[in-house]
Amino acid sequence: MTFNYDVPGDDFTRAGEASGDLKKKLKKLGFPSSVIRRVSIALYEGEINMVIHANGGHITADVNTDEINLTLADVGPGIPDIEKAMQDGYSTASDQVRNLGFGAGMGLPNMKRNSDEISIETELGVGTTVRMKILNQ
Amino acid sequence: MADFIHSVTLDKDKCLGCTNCIKRCPTSAIRVENGKARIISSLCIDCGECIRVCPHHAKIAVCQGFDVLNDFEYTIALPAPSLYAQFNNLEGPEIVVEGLRILGFDDVFEVAQAAELVSDATRKYLKGSDPDMTIISSACPTISRLIRIRFPDLIGNLLPLLTPAELAGKLAKERAMRETGLPADKIGTIFISPCTAKASSIYSPIGLEKSNIDAVISIKDVYTRLVGVLNQAQDTCGISDSGRVGVSWGSSGGEGAALLTDSYLAADGIENCIKVLNEMEDEKLNNIRFVELNACPGGCVGGVFTVENPFISRVKLTSVRKYLPPYKNIIRDDLVPDEYRWSSEMEYRPVMELDPDMEKAFAMMEEVERLTSKLPGLNCGSCGSPSCRTLAEDIVRGYSTENACVFVLRDEVQHIADLLSKISGIGMGRKPIDDKKNDDRSK
């Protein structure tokens, strides 16, 4: 089954709503806590990225008994250098964002670490779509 | 199941079936059924929020009365540190200790004394554990129960040591057996409790098979009696075995401060605690070594059995401990003594799941989503469930129907009314044939 979430841009207080809600639902569905944690962390990092860099976007969570597929789509500026962005600690976040405790450059690496498969489609000036698969095992 | 005995219960005659408690319950454990509130036992964590919020005093907590002292040959009072925060101008804990003796207890073992030992044991435990791991206090039974049903990943982070009250019960009984020669069952360890959670935990203790506490009397039941004898107690000059550290456990931050680390967090109030646990679960809380969580506002001084306002209590506690030495109790050994440790493991209770069979849970979730989108989303509680989503879940679990929602019902009644008015407009059944009309047409 599919759950949909809109992520508002520039509102840090609401980042985490989607991952928080999905976490509750996965608990109700009886997923093991290790799987729920990975989904929750991966999705939260994605949400934060969408808020910081892309002025929000849309999340689709496709869930079945074997796996959870997360699609995070935005119409933001795109990622200029994915390889750099995947490195621990690399960040282009503004000082303002860093002062809020974000922008440590662990977003994408954390998403990669917590998912079994990740693919990123990005085009400068058009937007980014991140797809993550987390297996129920 | 013996593990689900709670001290929070309902006085049916007083319950009006209003929605105050169902909306306040942090685990959505209450429904209104046939006009009366009902607590779902497996979900209740004994926080006492419903007792706090019920305007009709229909939610009550059961604990023993003072006559429980007659059940034992030798009785020991175990006063919680928060008890010292209930009185005006109390010069020191020793006056309360003496007051309890005057009231008829044969001995007093302060929970604050045991708390100092738990503080010392915690420092030793932290020294011996993974420095990157965040340890969560297990002193508040509501928090431990909440973790058990809602945060399975964090069970391993709970401090696996006895609560100060349990340790006090254990040490007090051992001391009394030594001194009196009486068998364990003739000696009553009676905890004077600030809250419902600690009262229930003697029936289903966390981390041990059987509680060391034999009975619980609430602070408010002891309060009026104690006030009457405090003047007399002041003259006899009793002895207190607790220092500042132990007494400080009575309010939020006291346990954490005793650990001599800057890297501790103290949160109080159940909703705030849930927020912290959520952050921890998502690994967002870094570089914090110890997390002290108290379900009641202000810590134990905010328990539902206390008499004084928790913020005023806090000030009173500060003045009671002012002239005490930092601490009076330490563990001589370098290691945490085995008898301080949990003897049984805590197991996750997946009470939130829709069904243990995942396929079934998915089918139920589809239905919950469908129903939720049909419901008005006002979360008014009139149906007896705390929110529209919980109603949808209750329907799917077979405990309610869509018509329980007054808005769904209104729409249905409206639909029926529309049909009726349509019928009344055209009239019912056949109409007589008008021969004249037919004749006119044939002309």
Nearest CB neighbour to B353, from listed A28, A34, A37 = A28
Q: What is the pLDDT of residues B176-212, one digit of tens each?
A: 999 999 999 999 999 999 999 999 889 889 899 999 9
Distance from CA of B428 to the nearest CA of A (A): 48
Full residue range of the structural domain in which residue A43 is found: 2-135
Radius of gyration of chain A from its Cα atoms, rounded to whole angstroms: 14
**Nearest-angstrom CA–CA distance, B78 and B202:** 13
Kindly determine whether residue B352 and residue A40, on different chains, have CB atoms separated by under 8 Å. no
- B267: tokens are 């949160």
Number of Cα atoms under 13 Å in the Cβ half of residue B431: 5
Helix (H, G, I), strand (E, B) or coil at B159: coil
* Strand bridging mode A67-74 / A56-63: antiparallel
Of A20, A28, A34, the CB nearest to B361: A28
* Cβ-defined contact of A29 to B354 (cutoff 8 Å): yes
Chain mean pLDDT for chain A: 88
Please tell me what DSSP assigns to residue A124. T
C-alpha–C-alpha distance, residues B277 and B75, integer Å: 39
Q: Which of residues 368-397 of B touch A (CB under 8 A)?
A: 369, 393
Interchain pair B369, A27: CB under 8 A: no
- Cα–Cα nearest to B82, from B302, B238, B270, B253: B302
Summarised one tens digit per residue, pLDDT across range B34-61 is 999 999 999 999 999 999 999 999 988 8
Task: Say whether pLDDT at A137 is over 70.
Answer: yes
Q: Tell me: the pLDDT tens digits for B218-264?
A: 999 999 999 999 999 888 777 899 999 999 999 999 999 999 888 99
Considering only the beta carbons, identify the residue of B153, B284, B365 that sits closest to A33.
B153
Contact A37/B153, CB-based, under 8 Å?
yes
Relative to beta strand B30-33, strand B36-39 is antiparallel
φ, ψ dihedrals at A135, nearest 5°: -80, 145
Residue B157 predicted with pLDDT over 50? yes
B81 closest CA partner among B313, B255, B246, B219: B246
| Residues B428, B432, B437, B441, CA torsion sign | positive
Closest Cβ–Cβ partner in B150, B284, B353 for A30: B353
Preferred mutation among A19, A28, A44, A63 to probe B, highest tally of B CBs within 10 A: A28
With CA atoms as reference, report the closest residue to B111 among B192, B195, B230. B192
Give the chain A residue whose CA is nearest to the CA of B286.
A101
The answer to whether the Cα torsion of B351, B354, B355, B356 is positive or negative is negative
- Ordered structural domains, chain B, with CATH: 2-61 (3.30.70.20), 66-340 (no CATH), 358-426 (1.10.15)
Residues B314-351 pLDDT 10s = 999 999 998 899 999 999 988 999 999 999 988 888 88
Contacting residues of B for A44, CB less than 8 Å apart = 282, 284
B360 touches chain A (CB under 8 A): no
Predicted pLDDT of residue A100: 67
Alpha-carbon gap, residue B309 to B299, rounded angstroms = 12
* B135 contacts: CB under 8 Å, gap ≥ 6: B122, B125, B126, B129, B157, B158, B159, B289, B290, B291
For residues B99 and B49, is the Cβ–Cβ distance under 8 A?
Answer: no
What CA–CA distance (Å, rounded) separates B139 from B292?
A: 9
Q: Does A102 touch chain B (CB under 8 A)?
A: no
| pLDDT of the residue at B4 | 62
Q: What is the rounded average pLDDT of the residues B386-397?
A: 96
What pLDDT score was predicted for residue A95?
Answer: 74
Instruction: Give the tens place of pLDDT for each residue, B121-139.
Output: 999 999 999 999 999 999 9
Distance CA B412, CA B407 (A): 9
| B142, B270 contact by CB (below 8 A) | yes
CA B388, B394, B399, B402 torsion: positive or negative?
positive
Looking up residue A103, the CATH number of its domain turns out to be 3.30.565.10
Give strand ranges (E) for chain A.
2-8, 56-63, 67-74, 117-123, 127-135
pLDDT band at B1 (very low <50, low <70, confident <90, very high): very low
Number of Cβ within 10 Å of residue A106's Cβ equals 15
Which chain A residues have a beta carbon less than 8 Å from that of B350? 30
Residue-level pLDDT at B433? 83
- The 3-state DSSP class for residue B39 equals strand
Please name the residues between 38 and 97 in chain A that touch chain B, using a CB distance below 8 Å. 40-41, 44, 64-65
% of chain B surpassing 70 pLDDT: 98
Chain A nearest C-alpha distance from B352 (Å):
6
Residues of B in contact with A33 (CB under 8 A): 152-153, 348
Put simply, the answer to whether B365 touches A19 (Cβ < 8 Å) is: no
- Name residues whose C-beta falls within 8 Å of residue B438's C-beta, 6 or more positions apart in sequence: none
Evaluated on CA atoms B355, B358, B361, B363, the torsion sign reads: negative
Chain A hits for B281, Cβ within 8 Å: 23, 37, 40
Of residues A1, A31, A40, nearest to B282 (C-beta): A40
CB contact under 8 A, A40 and B356: no
Terminal CA-to-CA distance of chain A, rounded, Å?
18
The answer, for B354 touching chain A at a CB cutoff of 8 Å, is yes
Q: What residues pair up with B216 in beta bridges, in sequence order?
A: B191
Q: A14, A42 in Cβ contact below 8 A?
A: no
B365 near A CB under 8 A:
yes
Please say if the pLDDT value at position B2 is more than 60. Answer: no
| Cβ pair B352:A29 closer than 8 A | no
- C-alpha A19/C-alpha A31 separation (Å) is 15
Give the pLDDT confidence of A76-126 residue by residue, as tens digits. 888 888 888 777 777 777 777 776 667 666 678 889 999 999 999 999 999
Does the distance separating the beta carbons of B366 and A1 come in below 8 Å? yes
Total of domains in chain A: 1
How far is the alpha carbon of B373 from chain A, nearest alpha carbon, in Å?
A: 13
Nearest to A28 among B153, B284, B352 (CB): B352
Q: What is the mean pLDDT of chain B?
A: 93
- Nearest alpha-carbon partner for B139 in B109, B165, B121: B165
Is the CB of A30 less than 8 angstroms away from the CB of B281?
no
Q: b/e for A47-72, b at 16 or more Cβ within 10 A? A: bbbbbbbbebbbbebebeeeebbbbb
Smallest Cβ–Cβ distance between B365 and the set A1, A23, A37 belongs to A1
* pLDDT, tens only, B74-118: 999 999 999 999 999 898 999 999 999 999 999 999 999 999 999
Residue among A57, A61, A64, A55 at smallest CA distance from A40: A61
Chain A residue nearest residue B275, CA to CA: A20
With CB atoms and an 8 Å threshold, state whether A28 touches B369.
no
| Cα nearest neighbour of A19 on chain B | B282
CB-nearest to A33 from B152, B283, B361 is B152
Rounded to the nearest angstrom, the gap between the alpha carbon of residue B305 and the centroid of all alpha carbons in its chain is 12
Find out whether B278 and A17 touch, Cβ atoms under 8 Å. Answer: no
Using CB atoms, pick whichever of B150, B284, B362 lies closest to residue A29: B362
Q: How many angstroms from the chain centroid is the CA of residue B283?
A: 25
